[in-house]
Amino acid sequence: MAHPSSYEPNTGIERWIDARLPVPRLMHDQFLAFPTPRNLNYWWTFGGILTFMLAAQIATGVVLAMHYVPSEHGAFDSVEKIMRDVNWGWLLRYSHAVGASMFFVAVYIHTFRGLYYGSYKAPREVLWILGVLILLLMIATAFMGYSLVWGQMSFWAVTVITNLFSSLDSVVPGLGTRLVQWIWGGFSVGGPTLNRLYSLHYLFPFIIAGVVVLHIWALHIPGNNNPTGIDVKTARDTVPFHPYYTIKDGFALVGFIFLFAAVVFYAPNYLGHPDNYVPANPLQTPPHIVPEWYFLPFYAILRAIPNKLLGVIALLSSISVLFFVPWLDTSRVRSTSYRPIYKWFFWAFAVTCVALGYLGSQQPEGVYLVLGRIFTVYYFAFFLLVMPIVGLIEKPRGLPGSITEPVLGPEEVAAPPAPAARKVPLKRKPAEVA
């Protein structure tokens, strides 16, 4: 959202820097004085929370990498050494592991907020696509990080997931097997596999940080969406980002950090699997291989398809379909708050995602398998059928005339600002003639 710069250097050093490298001006205009819709609710604070979580993950990850040994025989023991012998190593390790879960909690809330309020619609298509790309990079990074523990569940999760590429053998004979062996660096998951995953896990967070910069840049061109989904029309619809939203985002961040700290200090292993405290054993397969909780909906979709190749295609499509949401949704109204029919389908979709997460943690048999297939069908139907069709047949509720109208009322919005009161000089009475 273009706006005139209000930055004024106050000292000679500031003027000297501003004339040569105007970083302070950029920070002031884009992060302090940036005009922001005045009606943003707390769902919009998760963007700042995600930025904090990314910085926390990079900081803790860099320190952990100084003590980690990426070898087949030393990985598991190095993690235990970090927990027991490195000063505050237990806190670093738990903060990083729990931080991954909290990162996904925030990103899933952020994504569902974007879906509910139509933040993917024009002119914010590139913003949405970059956000989906960040989600995809996060999934890849988290999977590679989960493998580094080199416990039983990590080892066999790597074996199962990387083996999915062998499904390409049904398309081109031998292609999938060669690709799997190239990823493994041999004929089975071992030391070379661990080295490759460790290297990429260290690299990807910095790639994510670069895409986040592009994501923020793409946000600041059209400006923020808002709960009404109406474009900013006048200066009265906006407020400066600072101090209004820095205070609000800061308050939400503190609350999120309290939740984060509560899990780290009181239940750090609650979301993990006990088998990961057993060293990896290629000769003993766990009775039930389960990935981390944030992968479970996609894992349920993979297992719902009886054919291996089709299951892999469904797994990849469940994420890649998000890239096309700006064009699949045919409604001209952004916010679901004004779409009475679509709202029911949206909340059914939210329930579907939670249900798939639960079903992904269960054995794929009996009623769990049947329900997994039903919810998988609705997952794709929501994007491929509900969004295009409901957008054409639905009659949305009336939209307000501006962002401020739902709060101030139409009369107050339409009324011009009251003119400043003029001081009228008092007339003196003429002096009485004696």
How confident is the model over 233-277, as pLDDT tens digits? 888 899 999 999 999 999 999 999 999 999 999 999 998 889 999
- Residue 379: CB atoms within 10 Å: 24
Q: For position 288, what pLDDT does the model report?
A: 86
Q: Where in the chain is the domain with CATH 1.20.810.10?
A: 33-149+205-278
pLDDT along the chain (434 residues), means of 10: 81 93 91 93 97 97 96 95 96 97 98 98 97 98 96 94 93 94 94 96 97 96 95 91 96 98 96 91 89 95 94 96 98 96 98 97 94 98 98 94 79 52 46 39
Q: For position 384, what pLDDT does the model report?
A: 98
> What is the rounded distance in angstroms from the CA atom of residue 232 to the CA atom of residue 35?
10
Q: pTM of this prediction?
A: 0.92
Q: For position 106, what pLDDT does the model report?
A: 98
Q: For position 235, what pLDDT does the model report?
A: 87
CATH number of 292-398: 1.10.287.980
Q: For position 414, what pLDDT does the model report?
A: 56
Q: Where in the chain is the domain with CATH 1.10.287.980?
A: 292-398
May I ask the CATH class of domain 33-149+205-278? mainly alpha
